[in-house]
């Protein structure tokens, strides 16, 4: 039996980076390439690793204009490192964040923060994640936005955001201010100072924690300057 092979599939597979990270929504690069034979209208910009260059190459193969996709990066919504939050227990038998979450909720006083055992680090194929002083950190230059770390985090404190967004609240605690202060010195206490000073209506305090509307935010940094605990982070001032 003769099976016709779409030559475009092989050509697309050739330009894909081979990371097989699954960020495109398919199991890997082979499946993404093969999908074009069934759906020629499939977006050419689903590969965050290859970015605009690969999207343009795929579009050329398909005879289309290149689709545009804004680059994304991962952000860890927690700063609860040693000295910032309290370590309430340590168990040498627990090796992963998933296990810590399942059995006792983690080693830190704050149950909403980074569990610090590196599940995100272990799944990152691009050396963009490190665990420093008990909390995960993302290298924005190395991060390709594949989302593997976000999926691996059992406490849901990693979010994928557009790379152009530079200001965010690095806290997910839902406790009232007084209790949050006892749990973490850099946690959001829901004081609403950030909400009041924002000229773009981009910050809202909901369920005791501030949230930045990343579409409305202009990265001005006023909320960060006003925050009394340092819970708001401004990447405009950082190298990564």
* Domains assigned to the chain: 7-62 (1.10.15), 71-164 (3.30.70.20), 166-240 (3.30.70.20)
pTM: 0.81
Q: How would you write 12-44 as a 3-class SS string?
A: HHHHCCCCCCCCCCCCCHHHHHHHHHHCCCCCC
What is the average pLDDT across 17-44? Answer: 90
Q: Residues with Cβ < 8 Å from 239, sequence gap 6 or more?
A: none
Closest CA to 28 of 43, 17, 42: 17
Tell me the two tokens of residue 21: 């990270």
pLDDT at 106: 84
Tell me the two tokens of residue 40: 């020629």
Task: Summarize pLDDT for 38-77 with one digit per residue, the tens.
Answer: 898 888 989 988 988 999 999 999 988 877 778 889 999 9
Going by pLDDT thresholds of 50, 70 and 90, the confidence category of residue 1 is very low
Task: Summarize pLDDT for 8-22 with one digit per residue, the tens.
Answer: 999 999 999 998 988
What is the average pLDDT across 157-182? Answer: 95
pLDDT at 187: 97
Neighbours of 104 (CB within 10 A): 12
């Amino acid at each position: 039996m003769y099976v016709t092979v779409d030559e475009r599939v092989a050509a697309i597979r050739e330009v894909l980076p081979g990371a097989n990270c699954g960020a495109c929504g398919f199991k890997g690069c082979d499946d993404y390439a093969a999908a074009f034979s069934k759906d020629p209208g499939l977006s050419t910009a689903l590969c965050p690793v290859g970015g605009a260059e690969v999207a343009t190459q795929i579009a050329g193969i398909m005879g289309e204009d290149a689709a545009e996709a804004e680059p994304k990066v991962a952000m860890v919504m927690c700063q609860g490192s040693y000295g910032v939050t309290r370590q309430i227990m340590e168990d040498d038998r627990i090796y992963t964040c998933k296990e810590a979450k399942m059995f006792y909720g983690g080693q830190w006083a704050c149950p909403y923060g980074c569990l610090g055992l590196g599940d995100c680090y272990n799944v990152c194929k691009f050396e963009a994640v490190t665990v420093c002083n008990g909390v995960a950190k993302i290298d924005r230059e190395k991060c390709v936005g594949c989302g593997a770390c976000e999926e691996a985090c059992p406490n849901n404190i990693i979010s994928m955001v557009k790379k152009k967004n530079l200001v965010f609240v690095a806290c997910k605690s839902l406790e009232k201010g007084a209790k949050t202060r006892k749990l973490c010195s850099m946690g959001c206490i829901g004081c609403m100072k950030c909400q009041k000073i924002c000229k773009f209506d981009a910050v809202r305090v909901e369920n005791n924690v501030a949230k930045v509307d990343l579409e409305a935010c202009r990265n001005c940094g006023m909320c960060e300057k006003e925050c009394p605990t340092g819970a708001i982070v401004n990447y405009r001032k950082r190298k990564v």
